[in-house]
Structures are given as structure tokens and as C-alpha cells.
Amino acid sequence: MKLQEYTESKYNFEECMKCTICTAYCPVLQVNPLYPGPKQAGPDGERLRLKDPFFFNYALKYCLNCKRCEVACPSGVKVADLIQSARIRYDHSKPKLRDRILASTDFMGSLARPFAPMVNGVTKMGVTKAVLDGTMKIDKNRTFPKYSGRSFEAWLKRQAPAQAAFPEQVAYYHGCYVNYNYPQLGKDLVKVLNALGVGVQLLDKEKCCGIAMITNGMSQQATRHARHNVAVIGAAAAKGLKVVTTSSTCTLTLRDEYPGLLGVENQVVRDSLLMATRFIYEKLEKGAQLRFRPDFHKRIAYHTPCHLEKLGWGIFSEKLLRMIPGVEFTMLDSNCCGIAGTYGFKKENYAASQAIGAPLFEQIRNVNPDVVACDCETCKWQIEMSTQYPVANPISILAEALE
């Protein structure tokens, strides 16, 4: 009876029925002819690679790891996991300095933050950009995320006594972006949760989730981060705390990529970690109340980040935004914005990255909203740079709409 179960491989590649549906949904295939596409790079290639690693194709590095192929596959093949795991298994080339720098988001953040105004100034300058473009192959057309002068962690530590006074507590995995680039999102979360009677704590020294390391060929470093994060999230869970997040990519990495790609067991994470939008929605559903400003009015277009679509939790962001009185809500079509973390920063990917995002940018211009809502920090950079529309996390919009 169990024969079929026992013969199933980790990424299900033998379930592929060669229907080609995944190829219709891969954003890279639409713009980059060098990329073999999900079917070829995933299940078809796997069959060959298992025979002989010689068949590993270095063009797999063009995969964005957006997971759209997996979401579309009717047979449950883990196409993107197959591709990323093949890169981990077979690509032993050393990552370039540039990739190592782009991947080390927390290290970069802790270095850059004390000099924030200077770094921001320098990365804005044409000369610096030209140098980065020429020597590092970081595309000069990119606008860089700004570094904030004070980290979110430092801010929240000062609030600790006030936060501890709330009857209910959660821990917050804020990620590098909130800590170094945009503490305001973390502050917004604290405001909303406090309004629900929930205090916010830090974890015992979280590390970067490591997704950029995984996609830049640094899986060993990523595995060390994974073990550390599972341990600190486990410690919070042991104290009975839920752990909330505001970044869809960190969440997907912590929940799915750790066991899926790095082989790090993480049941405790799966049981205790959730997007803050889901946490808030579930509280409201159980009867908690938020009081909104009567004069709030916004036309919001919502973009579901690829990784949130994969998690399947976009529904909570959507429902929360629709719940705010005075919001006119438009759901944007399911499209990739093209940046995919560090991918779009690389000179060789810049053109592809912008071409992938073009249909999304066009739709945003047509809808002409007051603000684009989205739960991903890199989507925010990409959309703001490419459309001039402001982008805000649903949590920040909630915070703004509160009385």
C-alpha cells in the first residue's frame, strides 16, 4: 500500500507529467533566453543530473527563486526547490565578492548604519554608482536602500519596560530591513499591536534569515544562520510566545527553505512563527477591536509578493486592508515585480529584472492608486524606483489609519 509513498523523492520530481504549465508562469523565461526554464532546469534536468552531475547547467543561477512555477504546477512538483537544491549540490564555484557583499545583509547593515548619512550620501552619488557598476557589477540604475541612523533593535530596547506592561506578549522577528533600513515599519507594528493590548519583545539576538546567502551560493553560512534562528525562535516559543514577522520572504525562508533546502529541522518555527497580518486578523476575528480614524481615505492597490503567494497568506493582508473604513481596494494581477531580493541588483540581471516587472508597473499606473500596499521590502524598492508610486506595508497602512 505504501509503495508509492516510499518511492516519492524529496522534491517530487517524478510526479512531473511534462504538461509545461510551469513554463507559462516563469517570469525569467519571458525575458532571458539564456535561462532554460523551470521544466528543463527542474524535473527534466534533475533526471539527467542524477545520472551524472556533468549535466548541471550554470544557467540555473538565473532562477529568481520566486516559486511561481511551484504555485502553478498541478502535480505538486517542487520545481523551484529542485533548482535551488541543484545549485547547492552541484555549483561549487566560489561566490564573487559582490555576491558575498549583497548576500550579507545583516553584516552590511551593522557596518553601514553608524555612518548612515554618509553611506546614504555616497551610494546616491553618480560617481559611486559608476564605480559600483564598473568594479562590482552592481547596476548603476539601482537606487540603494537607505540605512537608518538608529537600529530598530536599539529603539525597541528602550521601550522594553513599557512593552512588558502589556498583558499579552509576542516576539518579533524583524529581519535586517526593519533593523537597518526602515525601523519605521517595526514601530508601526508596535503601534498596531499595542492598540490590541499586545506588547512586543525582541528575540534573543536573531540573525539574518539567510535567503540572500542561499541564492548567492553561500549555503553553509545560511545553514549556520538557520540553526541559530531556529534555536532563538524555539526559546521564545518555549516561553509561550508567538513570533510575528513583517517580511514575507524572511517568513518563507524560516518556515520552508530551512527544512526544504538547508535540511534544518524547524517544526518549532512552523508552529510558532506567523506573519503579523495573520496574527492581527485572527485577533480581530476572535473579537478584538481596532479604532480607526473617521477621516481616513485611501485608494490602495495591493501587490501580492511572490513569496507571500507561495505561503498562501496574502489573504490576511487583503482582508485587513479591506476592513479599514475609507479604503478603496484594488487587487493587482498576480505578477512578479522582477527584483527578487539581490537578483535585480546585479548588473547582468538589471534589464531582465525591469522587463519582468513591466506588466505590474503598467497596471499600477493604470490603477493610479494613492499607495501600493505590499508585504515585501525588496518589492517596495523595485516598485518605488520603477513607478514613482509610494509603497507601504499593510501594517504601516493600518498604523496610519488608527485613531
Partner 1 sequence: MKFNTVIIGGGLCGLTCGIALQKAGRSTAIISTGQNALHFFSGSFESLTEAPARMADLFGEAGIRLHYREGVRLMPLGTFRPAALSLEDISFFPKPKIGEKALIVSFKRYHDFFAAFLADGLEKQGVACRIEWLDLPELEQLEKSPSEMRSVQIARTMDRIWEKVVGEIRALVQDEDIIILPQVFGLKDTSVPIRIRESLPAQVVFVGTLPPSVPGIRTQMLLKRRYELLGGTYLTGDEATDAHVHEGRVHSIVTKNLDNHFLEADNFVLASGGFFSKGLKSNPFHIFEPVFGLDVEQAENRSDWYHPQFMHDQPYMAYGVKTDAALHALREGAPMQNLYAAGSVLGATRPEFGSGAGLAVRSALAVVDQILKTEAE
Write out the residues near ligand SF4 by the rule CB under 6 A: 16-22, 26-28, 38-39, 41-43, 63-69, 73, 75, 77, 79-80, 83
Nearer to ligand SF4, 210 or 338 (CB): 338
Interface region with partner 1, contact rule CB under 8 A, candidates 124-132, 289-297, 308-316, 373-381: 308-316
Nearer to ligand SF4, 25 or 172 (CB): 25
Among candidate residues 91, 93, 65, the one with its CA nearest the CA of residue 79? 65
Whether the Cβ atoms of residue 277 and residue 313 lie closer than 8 Å to each other: yes
The entry of ligand SF4, partner 1, none that residue 311 binds, CB within 5 to 8 Å by partner kind: partner 1
> Per CB under 8 A, which of residues 259..298 are in contact with partner 1?
278, 281-282, 285
CB of 26 to ligand SF4, least distance (A): 3
Q: Is residue 311 a contact point for partner 1 (CB under 8 A)?
A: yes
One-letter amino acid identity for 8? E
CB of 55 to ligand SF4, least distance (A): 17
For every residue of 306-331, DSSP letters joined together read HHHHHHT-HHHHHHHHHHSTTEEEEE
The entry of partner 1, ligand SF4, none that residue 4 binds, CB within 5 to 8 Å by partner kind: partner 1
CB of 17 to ligand SF4, least distance (A): 5
Sheet containing strand 273-275, edge to edge, reads: 198-202, 168-173, 242-245, 273-275
One-letter amino acid identity for 253? T
CA distance 220 to 226: 10
Nearer to ligand SF4, 83 or 202 (CB): 83
CA distance 279 to 129: 41
Q: Which of 76, 117, 149, 325 binds partner 1 (CB under 8 A)?
A: 76
C-alpha cell belonging to residue 88 = 547547492
The entry of partner 1, ligand SF4, none that residue 63 binds, CB within 5 to 8 Å by partner kind: ligand SF4
C-alpha dihedral (323, 326, 332, 338), degrees to nearest 10: -90
C-alpha cell belonging to residue 158 = 528602550
Whether the Cβ atoms of residue 55 and residue 48 lie closer than 8 Å to each other: yes
Binding mask 148-167 for partner 1 (x = CB under 8 A): --------------------
One-letter amino acid identity for 79? V
Cell 513599557 found at: 162
Whether the Cβ atoms of residue 245 and residue 175 lie closer than 8 Å to each other: yes
What residues form DSSP beta bridges with 301?
330, 372
Q: Which of 13, 16, 27, 39 binds partner 1 (CB under 8 A)?
A: 39
CB of 252 to partner 1, least distance (A): 11
Q: Which residues bind partner 1 (CB under 8 A)?
A: 1, 4, 19-21, 23-25, 29-30, 33-37, 39-40, 44, 70-76, 278, 281-282, 285, 309-313, 315, 318-319, 331, 333-334
